[in-house]
Amino acid sequence: MSKLDTKLKIAIQKSGRLHERCVRFIESCGIKFPKNKSVLKAEAHNFPMQFLFLRDDDIPACVAEGVADVGMVGLNEVEETAENVDIVKRLGFSKCRMSLAVPKNMEYNGLQDLSGKTIATSYPRILQNYLKENQVEARVHQISGSVEIAPSVGMADAVFDIVSSGSTLMSNGLKEIKPTVLKSEAVLIANRNLDTEQQAILDKLTFRMDALLEAQNFKYLMFNFPTTSKEEIVNIIPGLKSPTIVPLSNSNWSALHSVVEEDVFWDKIDNLKSAGAEDIIVLPIEKIIR
């Protein structure tokens, strides 16, 4: 295949919790493709990429076997399937945790209390490894869904599942056990034997993803301040390099433009106001390329 014909095949979830987020993420990277729920394959209009729409459980194996070159999937699926793939990047969305939970009224003082018990899960491999690491001898009962009802129907004593807000556990009379077993989020995975052309396209893709991920941590900040406070203000807000200061038509006042980490902004807001900052505007940033 000539260099011009090479396309990077990316597997994303066909429908479900990850689908929409992955589509939005790819589109924010400037990649356009037709969206038709009934097709299982699509070509990008403006990037050498072909999309395969699959069940999330199948994505790690497809990437390991080279059916797809890369994939976007939950880290939980990558860990559970233990397929031979590279985790290229954490994507920062679909964050959740994998936890054990027991009935609210069960006395629980530590993992050893699960010895001899039955634990229901759709993630037997992650659970088995965790129990082994912690030397807990429990029986793992694999079910494919509705894990949280297992204790109330007498199928298991405890459960191991994905938790996000915790409300599903609560409404099924279960309490989450800390610490969390695995912190998961969507990840970009890749086949371990990409050729140079495929790798070059993947590098272009990750360059765009980095610009997006970097921007998510920062905000564009603008405000007016009395010109006499310039030194104080610049010390509070150093910016990526150095903030831009623009004189206003009333020379007693200036405006500052800067890019700041969101956390830093909230830490500094009181200091800024005491230094005379007014009309503070904070805007999201779409991309940052360093």
- Closest approach, Cβ 40 to ligand PRT, in A, equals 13
Size of the site for Zn ion (CB under 5 A): 2
Stretch of residues binding Zn ion (CB under 5 A), selected from 56-64, 95-103, 204-212, 253-261:
56-64
Choosing among ligand PRT, Zn ion, none, which partner's interface includes residue 184 (Cβ < 5 to 8 Å by kind)? Answer: ligand PRT
Which parts of 94-153 interact with ligand PRT (CB under 6 A)? Answer: 94, 96
- Closest approach, Cβ 77 to Zn ion, in A, equals 7
Stretch of residues binding Zn ion (CB under 5 A), selected from 36-44, 52-60, 107-115, 247-255:
52-60
Q: Which residues in 126-164 are b (16+ Cβ under 10 Å) and which e?
A: bbebbbeeeebebebbebeeebbbbbeeeebbbbbbbbe
* Phi, psi of 3, deg, nearest 5: -55, -40
Which parts of 9-68 interact with ligand PRT (CB under 6 A)? Answer: 13, 16-18, 55-57
Which parts of 57-76 interact with Zn ion (CB under 5 A)? Answer: 57
Contact pick of 36, 38, 46, 165 for ligand PRT (by CB under 6 A)? 165
The distance between the two most distant Cα atoms of the chain, rounded to a whole number of Å, is 77
Choosing among Zn ion, ligand PRT, none, which partner's interface includes residue 94 (Cβ < 5 to 8 Å by kind)? Answer: ligand PRT
Is residue 32 within 8 A of residue 46, CB to CB? The reply is yes
Separation CA 213–CA 227 (nearest Å): 35
Strand ranges (E), the chain? 8-13, 41-43, 49-54, 70-74, 86-90, 96-103, 118-121, 139-142, 158-163, 174-176, 182-184, 186-190, 218-226, 244-247, 253-261, 278-284
Site of interaction with ligand PRT (CB under 6 A):
13, 16-18, 55-57, 74, 76-77, 94, 96, 161-168, 184
